[in-house]
Amino acid sequence: MSDAPLIEVRDIVKTFGSVIALNGVSMSVRSGEVLCLLGDNGAGKSTLIKTLSGVYRPTSGEFLVDGKPVAFRSPRDALDAGIATVYQDLAMIPLMSVTRNFFMGREPVRGIWPFRRLDFARAQDVTREEMMRIGIDVRDPHQAVGTLSGGERQCVAIARAVYFGAQVLILDEPTSALGVAQTSVVLKYIHIVRSRGLGVIFITHNVRHAHVVGDRFTVLNRGRTLGTYDKSEIAIEELQNLMAGGKELAELSGALGGTV
């Protein structure tokens, strides 16, 4: 594992008028590493995701890719830099085929201009091969993506990003709406992606899911970084308390006579 981060942010601040959404966030992710970004609702996770993926420009602070400062003007700039984001809604069309969703307008073509045409056979082969790599047998790439399980659809979205050259994957709550079996599928694939040398930022509020695959954990609270910890440095219960505001709950419990 290289010591140089694939991406790094230092003291990132993002304001919307008088509202401070991020107030000095610092974090980094390296090749072959899963960094889990933990935080409850309102912690600033969504704003940070959109800042890393080029949707927002930070108000202040440093954003570095491979050690070089960047200023993304759009999500396309982030993609060109090898940063791909898989959002909760997956940006998929349920009635379209697995292959169509996998390529989403980037289907391979054959022939010479002006007689070029879509190479559907190649597209189907690639889709089947990429899904088989992660243990999902898509026997018929023509089938609607909506017929797959939630975990399988997550894996299609992740595999799509990897195939098109992502070096850093930002996964936005990929297990939040999944059952145990489907969650297992996604977590196994995150491990596979990490083993290929990609950096993964796994955003979640589920500490147990994070602890299964995470190498390091950064905790956000009210737009601030509470700290970054290696897996060997912190127990799962401590992470849970940090994320959920254990100190605040303890104080409230004391004020209410231990009823919380």
Task: List, for residues 25-74, the tens digit of each pLDDT value.
Answer: 999 999 999 999 998 888 899 999 999 999 999 999 999 999 999 999 99
Domain 5-93+149-242 adopts which CATH fold? Rossmann fold (3.40.50)
pLDDT on residue 246: 52
Stretch 188-210: mean pLDDT: 91
pLDDT on residue 231: 92
Reply yes or no on whether the pLDDT at 84 is more than 90.
Answer: yes
Contact 244, 205 (CB under 8 A): no
Is 155 or 170 the better-scoring residue by pLDDT?
170
Reply yes or no on whether the pLDDT at 244 is more than 50.
Answer: yes
Is pTM beyond 0.75? Reply is yes
Sorted by where each begins, the domain ranges of the chain are 5-93+149-242
Residue 221 CA to residue 238 CA, distance in Å, equals 15
The residue type at 232 = S
Reply yes or no on whether the pLDDT at 235 is more than 70.
Answer: yes
Q: What are the angstrom distances between the C-alpha of 250 and each of 242, 243, 244, 253, 256?
A: 12, 14, 11, 5, 10
pLDDT on residue 109: 74
pLDDT on residue 254: 59
Task: List, for residues 101-155, the tens digit of each pLDDT value.
Answer: 998 877 777 767 676 677 788 888 888 888 888 777 777 888 898 888 888 888 8
Give me the percent of the chain exceeding a pLDDT of 90. 42
Question: How does residue 17 score in pLDDT terms, banded at 50, 70 and 90?
Answer: very high
End-to-end CA distance of the chain: 44
Contact 185, 151 (CB under 8 A): yes
Reply yes or no on whether the pLDDT at 87 is more than 90.
Answer: no
pLDDT on residue 217: 95
**Beta strands of the chain (E only): which ranges?**
5-16, 19-30, 34-38, 60-65, 68-69, 83-86, 109-110, 117-118, 168-172, 199-204, 216-221, 224-230
Which alpha helices (DSSP H) does 82-222 contain, by range? 98-103, 120-133, 150-163, 180-195, 207-213
Reply yes or no on whether the pLDDT at 206 is more than 50.
Answer: yes
**CB burial class (10 A; 0-12, 13-18, 19+) of residue 230?**
exposed
- Which residue bears the tokens 């590493």? 33
3-state secondary structure of 104: coil
